[in-house]
Amino acid sequence: MQRLETVLNRITPLDAGLLAATQARLDCKTKPLGSLGRLEEFACRLVAISGQQQPDLTKKVIFTFAADHGITEEGVSLYPKAVTAQMVFNFLQGGAGVNVLARHAGAEVRVVDVGVDHDFGGCPGLIHRKVARGSANFAQGPAMSRDQMLAALMVGIELADQCKAEGVGLVGTGEMGIGNTSPSSAIIAALSGLSVEQVTHRGTGIGDQALALKLAAITRGLAINKPDPRDPLDVLQKVGGLEIAAIAGLVLGCAANKIPVVMDGFISTAGALIAAELHPNLRDHLFAAHESVEVGHRFMLERIGVKPILDLGLRLGEGTGGALAMTLIEAGVKILAEMATFEQAGVAGH
């Protein structure tokens, strides 16, 4: 906990002077004031988060955290638990959606085993940080012990510290874990007081019967565990997941290290929401890649106080939406770096 407190103490508000100065630079470019809309916002925020007049986005990394979930025992998912490990191998071979879109964005995908119920041995390319072989079934008791939850948080924080040491300029969150929309729905329900029905959707595409099982399992889990909405770590421990905890840690660590973070969809935002509940300035360091089809995602985004960049009907996860949003964030930074001013172009300004 002391390490977490240290990280929280390093998260600061954005420098309003730096935001204003960057906007003033953009206002001198050969365009009507504000005419590049949110691209200008992205550029201003990148400068203010990083503290660099010209942010260097040469190194972009998407972390795809993988973990299994005991809640799958309740029949809440379309796919068996074994698919989590199978998809990890697909990520490592470069064949998944996030791999394709990360290549498009010029980003590296780093796959982290934080809680898969599979022995990967010394599998090359995988970041081995297994805390446990999956979470417990939160419909019957706490998803994790407090020590497991804190250990998974630290995985994310340590990876953020490593990014700082490597000079990574932009980080994206991603995940893989069969059943993980259930803990994500439970987290937003617990924190917001919204009903389970309001925040729970069909995940990978389950039918009516499985949806009924999912609603019942989440409702039972909240009733049994009684997570304290005033204590986000209690919520995370009781109804969360190991990859969700690692994402929360990554977001916190990046904010402390002044590295901007692009959060992906519903599950990634569950992790970011926990982080945002722990620190009031955390949201300033976040970019919301998109609004997911998952109905609970909008409530998460509203609670954090962030506006999604894209709305493409996405619901894959893995970091796919984050990869796409990275291209637009980087476009804003390139406008700042490469677009001529009125004076440079010899164009009459204002």
The residues assigned a catalytic role are 318
Closest CA to 241 of 304, 153, 303: 153
Cβ-based neighbour number of residue 165 at 10 Å: 9
**87-221-212 Cα angle (round to 5):** 70
Q: What is the dihedral of CA 334, 256, 130, 268, to 10 degrees?
A: -60
User: Which tokens in the block code for residue 268?
Assistant: 């990634």
- If you write DSSP's letter for every residue of 30-51 in order, what string do you get? SS-TTTTHHHHHHHHHHHHHH-
* Residues 224/237, Cβ–Cβ less than 8 Å: no
User: Is residue 175 a contact partner of residue 152, using CB atoms and an 8 Å limit?
Assistant: no
User: The tokens of 2 are what?
Assistant: 């002391």
